[in-house]
Structure 1
Amino acid sequence: MDNRYSIQEFVERTAQTNKNQGLFEMEGDRMLEVHLNGDVWTKLGAMVAYTGNVSFKREGVLEHGLGRMLKKAITGEGMTLTKAEGQGTIYLADQGKKVSILNLNNESLYVNGNDLLAFENGIQWDIKLMKKISSILAGGLFNVKLEGTGMVAVTTHYNPLTLKVTPDRPVFTDPNATVA
């Protein structure tokens, strides 16, 4: 494949396309496009570009309560958030990682805080202790639990792999590589 283009060809091949898929939509497989009309939480440093009247405010120390602030300090869970507010379009990415959009419907999800890219304001989150002591050896004793109804965008280094878990067939994973 030849990657040499005229400027016109480059612009045509890489132009943003609006798919009209709602709040979160993919712009390629490594970029999240957020159609903002209110506010969303994003990973600090993930904003690549934006258009419109959008402001960004780093998560305050007590923004989500004293309990969560202490959990973050004690656990070292690496999730630092920014609130994007206003009207416009935001483009988010995280070091070339693949992005997956999940639509929670009164459901919960566990993810390593470093792999959380964005979520709707109505989604509740908390830092949770993983149940197995073997998680310490794998390098991740704590993960972020997200729950409620709304969109969540997570990142992975490669294509995600889904493993079916049943009571008679448990699955053990590295917490740093787990979305559960």
Structure 2
Amino acid sequence: MQSPLFNYAEQQSQERYVVQNPQLLRVSLAGQDDILARKGAMVAYQGLVDFDGEYQSSNQRRTRSRTGEGLDLMRCSGQGTVYFANLAQCIHVVDVDQDGMTVDSAYVLALDSTLHTEVIAVDSQYGVSGTGKYQLNITGRGKVALMTSGQPLMMQVTPDKYVSADADAIVAWSSGLRVQMQAQTHNASVRRRRGDTGEGWELSFLGTGFALVQPSEVMPPQNAAIGQGIAAQYGVGGNGAHGQNQSNVWS
């Protein structure tokens, strides 16, 4: 059999994480360190690999119920090669060092099991919960595979040049940055989106580090149904964009 499809054969590499193509991640398992991956994200594998649901403590379950932030993971162990993907989103591998990284958990595809995760609150000058209010802090040494809707923009933050980003478009940033959630609005109520511009909450970053922004504001794939209610409109809760995309499918 002949076909141009054979140009997409698997890549050979000694690296543990390999971006097979912009929407597909290849991870090698050698029977030692396990991989934690988004539930349902496996699309193919070779070798002797086991997939188990990752245990969540009662505190983790309470935190996720209260904040909507957290990881719903499976543990991949054994020897072989596993391929991961999610809704054909673009995949990027990041090395986490001692500085740590803060990320919206909706954009995490896979990570080394040696890394530590913790839900943190982002400072809001208005005390309003919503998209961007809670995030996931990742510390330790290891790799994390992130997803973006389209090719992202990596913005450098320096003491003399701070960065602001839409709370629905920000993916990750250096944990050492000072962050504040705000809405520069001329409306009487800060809970309304800014005037008639359609712009809403934003995160401002100060210090030294990076901020990763995607060219999308948490919009679902075409024809995907988003739940009703104010929480769903802000992408949070069981009926929101984040809630509906927990099992690698849109319903």
TM-score range, shorter chain: 0.7 to 0.9
Per the alignment, residue 47 of structure 2 pairs with 52
The share of aligned pairs that are identical, in percent, is 26
**Aligned-pair Cα RMSD in Å:** 2.0
User: Unaligned regions of 5+ residues in structure 2, if any?
Assistant: 174-251
Identify which of structures 1 and 2 has the higher relative contact order when contacts are C-alpha pairs closer than 8 Å and 6+ apart: 1
CA distance in 2, matches of 1:9, 1:135: 57
Residue by residue, what CA displacement relative to the aligned partner does 1:6-61 show, whole Å, maximum 9, x if unpaired?
x52244212112122x2111101111100012311101111111111111111223
Residue by residue, what CA displacement relative to the aligned partner does 1:58-84 show, whole Å, maximum 9, x if unpaired?
12232xxx3323211211125211111
Per the alignment, residue 145 of structure 1 pairs with 137
CA distance in 2, matches of 1:135, 1:118: 32
CA distance in 1, matches of 2:128, 2:54: 28
CA distance in 2, matches of 1:141, 1:124: 20
CA distance in 1, matches of 2:166, 2:25: 25
Question: How many residues in Structure 1 have an aligned counterpart in Structure 2?
Answer: 170
Per the alignment, residue 4 of structure 1 pairs with none
CA distance in 2, matches of 1:156, 1:142: 19
**Contact in 1 for aligned 2:70/2:119 (Cα 8 Å):** no
CA distance in 2, matches of 1:135, 1:160: 29
CA distance in 1, matches of 2:84, 2:164: 31
Letter in 1 for 2:46: T
Higher-Rg structure is 2
Match of 1:106, SS state, is: coil
Per the alignment, residue 29 of structure 2 pairs with 36
**Contact in 2 for aligned 1:40/1:121 (Cα 8 Å):** yes
How many angstroms does 1:169 deviate by?
A: 2.9
When residues 91 and 135 of structure 1 are mapped into structure 2, their CA distance, relative to the original with a 3 A threshold, is farther
Worse overlay, 26-35 or 99-108? 99-108
Match of 2:10 among 13, 16, 27: 16
Length-normalised TM-score, structure 2: 0.62
Letter in 2 for 1:40: I
Length-normalised TM-score, structure 1: 0.85
CA distance in 2, matches of 1:25, 1:59: 23
User: Unaligned regions of 5+ residues in structure 1, if any?
Assistant: 1-6
Per the alignment, residue 61 of structure 2 pairs with 69
**Contact in 1 for aligned 2:117/2:137 (Cα 8 Å):** yes
CA distance in 1, matches of 2:4, 2:105: 35
